C-alpha cells in the first residue's frame, strides 16, 4: 500500500491543507492519506486550540474525504513531534507499505535544521509540493539532495514507480495548485466575527462555531 502522511498543527485545518493533499494523492496514486495533527511542534509556537479539539476537527474532515484517515500517533506523545521519530514508528506499524511524507517546498528548504533529518529517508519517501513554474536555485544547498534523490525517482518512474524495490529514500516533486490560505488569516477573520466559508470545509466551520472557538 502507498500511504501519504501530512502533518501540521491544523489550527484550524483548511483547504490550504486539504486540496494539495488531494492533488498529491491523485498524482502519486496513493491508496490513502494520513492527516496527522502534531502535539508539541518543534518548529512552531504552540497551537491556540487543544490537541483534542484539533483531533476532532481533523477526524471530521477525514469522515468526508475518501481515502483520508486521522493519525493520532504524535498527539499521543508528550515529547516534541520530531518527524524522524514519527516516521520510524509508522514504518514499524506499516513495514510492507511505502510511506510518502508530504511537505511544502518551504519546509524542504529548511530540512537541514530538522532533528536527525538524514534518517527520514530510511523510513519514507519525501513528497515536495511546489508551485507551478517554480524552480529551486541551482546554488541552494538543498538542490543536490533534490537532484540526486529525484533522479532515482525519475529512473524508477520510467519503469513504473509502483514496482520499484526501494520503498523509501526518494523525493517526489509534485506541482500543486497554489492555495493562498493561512491558519493565521482564518483565526484573525474569526476573531473579527467574519465567516471564512470559502477557506474551511463546512463541517470544520460548524465545529468552530458550535464550540465558539477563536473568539477574541
132-173 confidence digits (pLDDT tens) = 767 777 777 788 888 888 855 554 444 444 444 478 999 999
Q: What is the pLDDT of residue 128?
A: 94
The confidence band for 21, taking pLDDT boundaries of 50, 70 and 90, is: very high
Name the pTM for this structure.
0.89
- Residue 1: CB atoms within 10 A of its CB come to 10
Q: C-alpha grid cell for residue 195?
A: 465567516
Apex 134 CA angle, 180 and 16, nearest 5? 25
Are the beta carbons of 122 and 99 closer than 8 angstroms?
A: no
Residue found under cell 491523485: 26
Selection from 23, 26, 41, 107 nearest residue 79 by Cα: 41
Residues above pLDDT 90, as percent of the chain? 69
Q: What is the pLDDT of residue 41?
A: 67
Are the beta carbons of 123 and 91 closer than 8 angstroms?
A: yes
Secondary structure (3-state) at 83: helix
Rg (CA), the chain: 17
Q: What are phi and psi of 160, to 5 degrees?
A: 75, 100
Amino acid at each position: 500500500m502507498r500511504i501519504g502522511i501530512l502533518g501540521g498543527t491544523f489550527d484550524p485545518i483548511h483547504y490550504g491543507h486539504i486540496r494539495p493533499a488531494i492533488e498529491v494523492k491523485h498524482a502519486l496514486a496513493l491508496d490513502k492519506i494520513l492527516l496527522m495533527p502534531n502535539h508539541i511542534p518543534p518548529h512552531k509556537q504552540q497551537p491556540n486550540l487543544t490537541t483534542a479539539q484539533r483531533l476532532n476537527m481533523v477526524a471530521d474532515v477525514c469522515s468526508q474525504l475518501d481515502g483520508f484517515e486521522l493519525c493520532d500517533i504524535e498527539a499521543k506523545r508528550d515529547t516534541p513531534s520530531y518527524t524522524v521519530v514519527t516516521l520510524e514508528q509508522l514504518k514499524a506499524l506499516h513495514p510492507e507499505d511505502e510511506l510518502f511524507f508530504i511537505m511544502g517546498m518551504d519546509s524542504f528548504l529548511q530540512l537541514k535544521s530538522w532533528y536527525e533529518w538524514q534518517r527520514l529517508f530510511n523510513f519514507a519517501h519525501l513528497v515536495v509540493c511546489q508551485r507551478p513554474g517554480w524552480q529551486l536555485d541551482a546554488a541552494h544547498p538543498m538542490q543536490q539532495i533534490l537532484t540526486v534523490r529525484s533522479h532515482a525517482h525519475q529512473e524508477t518512474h520510467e519503469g513504473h514507480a509502483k514496482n520499484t524495490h526501494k520503498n523509501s529514500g526518494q523525493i517526489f516533486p509534485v506541482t500543486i495548485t497554489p492555495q493562498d490560505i493561512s491558519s493565521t488569516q482564518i483565526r484573525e477573520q474569526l476573531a473579527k466575527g467574519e465567516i471564512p466559508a470559502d477557506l474551511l470545509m463546512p463541517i470544520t466551520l460548524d465545529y468552530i462555531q458550535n464550540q465558539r472557538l477563536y473568539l477574541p
